[in-house]
Chains A and B, each alone.
Chain A
Amino acid sequence: MIDRPYVRVDELTQHFPIKRGVVISRKVGAVKAVDGVSFTIRSGETLGLVGESGCGKSTTGRSILRLYRPTSGRVLLDDVDITALKPDELREMRPKMQMIFQDSYSSLNPRHSVAKIVAEPMVIQGEKDGTKLRHRVQELLDLVGLDADHAKRFPHEFSGGQRQRIGIARALALNPSFVVCDEPISALDVSIQAQVVNLLAALQRELGLTYLFIAHDLSMVRHISHRIAVMYLGRIMEQADYDELFRMPMHPYTQSLMSAVPIPEPSVEKARTRMILKGDVPSPARPPSGCVFHTRCPFATERCSFEVPEPREIRDRHAVACHNVDDVFVGSQIEAQRSAIVESLESAAGEGPDRAFASMDTGA
C-alpha cells in the first residue's frame, strides 16, 4: 500500500446561516455543523467517523463530496482540490467519488426500476449504448449479490437489506475510487447489518475502494475501519488507528462512548465500568466556549472553558484534542478511567460462549 493520503481534508468548516424575516431576510447566527475538521485517508483504507446525532458527521461526508459548498477549508481527492472546482469540472470528478445513503427508502426513486436506478449515473455521465448499460447493470447486481432478474423490479418489492444493495450497486456504477458510506446499516436488522458490512468489506478488497464510513455504532465501525475519528459538536476529539483507539482511548468523550456501547455478554454488561455523562449534547447553534465538551466532561478544568484545545499527536498516529490528557494531576485520573474501561471490555473479549459456529455461515 502506498503511504500517501488519497483523501485529504484540511480545516473543513461548514456553517449554515440561521435567518430571520420573510421579506428582508437577515442572518442572525450560524449553526456550526462542522468546525475545523482535518483528516486524511490512505488509498484502499477506511476511516470510520463516529459520533452521536447532531455532531456533524453526516454533514462532513456531504461537504467532502461537495453536496454542500464548504464555508472554508480544503478537500483534496487524489491531489485535486475539489472545493475550488467549477460545476463542469466537478461533474468530471463525480465518477471518482460516490455516496451510499442511510435511508434506502428515500434514496431510491420508487417509480424507477432497479435497472434504471443503477444505470442512471452512467446515463448522466453520457453513456448512451443500451446494450452496454444492460451488461453493466447485470454485472453490478451480480457484484452486490442480487439476481439478474431483479433488474426489472421496483424498490418496494425489496427488503431493507436488498434495497441497500441496490444503493451500493448504484454507487459503484461509475467505478469510483472513494465512497462515502453515510450510516449504511443503521436502519437494518442485526442479521442483515452483518450481510451488508461483509459485502462492503469484500468490495473494498476486490476493487481497492477507499471508504469514509460514517456511523454512530462504535463496535460496527471497529469492525470495518482502519482508522477511526471521533466527532463531537463539529470537531474531531480523537483520531487513531483502530486497535490503538480501542486499547488507548485517551479523550474523555471517547472513553464515555466506549463505556456506553452495550456488550452482548450478560456477565460483562452487568458488571462493567461505566462513565455516564450528565446532560445532553448542546446545540451547535450555541456551542460552548473553549472545549465544546467541557460542559459534560467530568475532568474539565477552568482552562477548558475558554481555550479551544487543538488536536495534538500524543502517541504515534494518535491525535487527541484535550488540554488535560498529559496533565500531571488530571491526566492521571483520565488514565485511570481509561484502564478501568478497557479492562472491563477486554474481559468480554476473553470469555466467549461455547458457540461452535464456524459452520454457521449460510450466506453468500
Chain B
Amino acid sequence: MTGDTVLQVRNLAVEFDSIDGTVHAVNNVSFDLKRGQTLGVVGESGSGKSVSMMSLLRLIAEPPGKITSGSAVFLPRNGEPVDLLQLPKRWLARIRGDRIGFVFQDPMSSLNPLMTVGEQIAESVRKHTELQGSVCRDRAVELLEHVGIPGAAERYNNYPHQFSGGMRQRVMIAIAIACNPDIIIADEPTTALDVTVQAEIVDRMQKLTKELSISVIWISHDLGVVAGIADVLMVMYGGSVVERGEISRVYSHPRHPYTIGLLGALPKLGAAQKRLVNIGGSPPSLFSPPRQCAFAARCPWVFDRCKAERPPLFFATGSHSEDPSAHGHVTACFYDLEKDRRRDPDETGIDVTAFEVGQQG
C-alpha cells in the first residue's frame, strides 16, 4: 500500500431542513483515504454513510441540505490540492466523473435510457479528455471489453434496457474508470444484484482498481461484501463515525458496542449458531442535535456519561506496552472494551486534525 493521501476529510457536518425540524444527518466525520486503498463505509439506512460521501462532491440537494462545517482536501495525482467544499460548482463539474468516478446502486436509473451504452461511455471520455471523434468510440469499446462485456463492439449500440442488471452495473464501472480517476465512490453497487452476480462484480472492481491503483470508497450495509474488498473499515451510526481501523483488526477485535452487535447479528454460513444477537430498539432520530452518544439508547454498556456528552474518538487498543496508534484503530465510546472498564474522565479523545487514519505499522 502506498503512503500518500488522496483525500483528507475533516469535521464534516451536513444538515437537512425539513418541516419537522433540522435533521443532523452527518456530524463531525473525519477520515483519510490513501492512494490505491479501499475504504469500506458500513452502516444501516439513515446512518449518514451515503450523505457524507455524496456531500463531498456536493451531490446532495442544497437546499434543503447544507454543509455546515468541515473540509475535504483532494490531492489528485497530477495537480494542486483543492478543498472540494470550497470549490465553485463549475470546477466541481470538472472533477466529478473525471478525477472522481461514481458507481451507484441502481444502474437503471443512473443510465440514460434513450442513449446507447457505448455513447454514454464515449461521452465521458470526450468531455474529460483530449480525445475526439472516433477515438472516443474505440476507447469506449475497449472499456466495455475491460469490464467483461462479451461482443463489446456490437454491444456498443445497445440501449440500457437490453442489458441485464449485472451488465448495466458493469457499464457503470466502465464509465467510472473511463478517465482513470483517483477515486471511485461506489454507493451500494451490488445491493440490487443476485449473489452470484455480486461475486463477479466485486471481483472485477477489485482487479480493476488495484490494476489502475484507484482509491475506492465502498459504501455498503453488508459486512460480508466489505470484508472481501476493503483495506480499512469505517462504521457509521446516527450520522457519526463510531469505529474505524484496519479491516481485519476491526472484525477480529471490534471495540464499539454497535460494531459488536452488527457482527453478532449476522448469521455465519460456516457455523451453526443457536440465536443471533439482538440489537434491541431501532436507529435514533436525527432531529435532536448531537449532545449524547447516538447509540446510548440501545447500548448494554451505557452509563450516565454517555447521555451527557458525545464521545470523541479514542484509540481502541490501548495497552501501555504497545503504541496505541499502531493499528489506526479508533472507537467513539466512553467504555473501554479492551480493558472492560469505563474510561477515565480525564482521558482525552484523539485530535482528528493531526492523526492520520488507516496507517499501518
Q: Which residue of B lies closest to A253 (CB)?
A: B196
CA of A216 to CA of B197, assembled, Å: 13
B306 to chain A, nearest CB (A): 14
Q: Which of B164, B203, B298 contacts A274 (CB 8 A)?
A: B203
Query: Which residues of the partner chain A approach B263 to less than 8 Å between Cβ atoms?
Result: 264, 353, 355
Task: Tell whether A43 is near chain B: CB-to-CB under 8 Å.
Answer: no
CA of A281 to CA of B197, assembled, Å: 9
Q: Which residue of A lies closest to B230 (CB)?
A: A266
Q: Which residue of A lies closest to B199 (CB)?
A: A260
B199 to chain A, nearest CB (A): 4
Q: Which residue of B lies closest to A348 (CB)?
A: B270
CA of A197 to CA of B275, assembled, Å: 9
| Number of residue pairs spanning A and B whose beta carbons lie under 8 angstroms apart | 180
A262 touches B262 (CB 8 A): no
Query: Which residues of the partner chain A approach B298 to less than 8 Å between Cβ atoms?
Result: 362
Task: Tell whether B260 is near chain A: CB-to-CB under 8 Å.
Answer: yes
CA of A112 to CA of B42, assembled, Å: 36
CA of A223 to CA of B283, assembled, Å: 24
Task: Tell whether A130 is near chain B: CB-to-CB under 8 Å.
Answer: no
Count chain B residues whose beta carbon lies closer than 8 angstroms to a beta carbon of A.
Answer: 57
Q: Give the size category of A's interface with B.
A: 35 or more
Task: Tell whether A174 is near chain B: CB-to-CB under 8 Å.
Answer: no
Task: Tell whether B81 is near chain A: CB-to-CB under 8 Å.
Answer: no
A347 to chain B, nearest CB (A): 8
One digit per residue, 1 when the CB lies within 8 angstroms of any chain B CB and 0 when it does not, for chain A 232-268 equals 0000000000010010000000001111111111111
Q: Which of A16-24, A187-195, A311-319 contacts B (4 or more CB under 8 A)?
A: A187-195
A360 touches B261 (CB 8 A): yes
B269 touches A361 (CB 8 A): no
Task: Tell whether B75 is near chain A: CB-to-CB under 8 Å.
Answer: no
A360 touches B264 (CB 8 A): yes
Q: Which residue of B lies closest to A259 (CB)?
A: B199
A269 touches B227 (CB 8 A): yes
Query: Which residues of the partner chain B approach A189 to less than 8 Å between Cβ atoms?
Result: 44-45, 221, 283
A246 touches B269 (CB 8 A): yes
Query: Which residues of the partner chain B approach A190 to less than 8 Å between Cβ atoms?
Result: 44, 221-223, 262, 265-266
B46 to chain A, nearest CB (A): 9
Query: Which residues of the partner chain A approach B271 to less than 8 Å between Cβ atoms?
Result: 348-349, 352
B246 to chain A, nearest CB (A): 9
Query: Which residues of the partner chain B approach A277 to less than 8 Å between Cβ atoms?
Result: 196, 200
Interface residues in B205-250 (C-beta closer than 8 Å to A):
221-225, 227-228, 230, 247-248
If A222-B267, A263-B270, A280-B167 touch, whether A362 touches B45 (CB-CB below 8 Å) is no
B260 touches A258 (CB 8 A): no
CA of A148 to CA of B273, assembled, Å: 32
Task: Tell whether B326 is near chain A: CB-to-CB under 8 Å.
Answer: no
Q: Which residue of A lies closest to B275 (CB)?
A: A198
Q: Which of B194, B228, B247, B300 contacts A262 (CB 8 A)?
A: B228
One digit per residue, 1 when the CB lies within 8 angstroms of any chain B CB and 0 when it does not, for chain A 330-352 equals 00000000000000011111001
B50 to chain A, nearest CB (A): 14
A223 to chain B, nearest CB (A): 4
Q: Which of B261, B265, B270, B282 contacts A162 (CB 8 A)?
A: B282
Q: Which of B24-32, B90-98, B123-131, B251-259 contacts A (4 or more CB under 8 A)?
A: B251-259
A164 to chain B, nearest CB (A): 12
A52 touches B224 (CB 8 A): no
Q: Which of B221, B253, B268 contacts A219 (CB 8 A)?
A: B268
B191 to chain A, nearest CB (A): 11
CA of A15 to CA of B270, assembled, Å: 36
List B residues at the A interface (Cβ < 8 Å).
44-45, 164-167, 194-200, 202-203, 221-225, 227-228, 230, 247-248, 251-254, 257, 260-273, 275-283, 298-300, 340
16 contacts between A and B (CB under 8 A): A190-B221, A191-B261, A191-B279, A194-B277, A257-B195, A257-B196, A263-B228, A266-B227, A268-B270, A274-B199, A276-B196, A277-B200, A347-B270, A355-B260, A357-B261, A359-B300
Given contacts A194-B264, A263-B228, A357-B261, 9 further A-B contacts (CB under 8 A): A194-B266, A219-B267, A264-B263, A269-B224, A276-B199, A277-B200, A347-B270, A355-B254, A357-B277
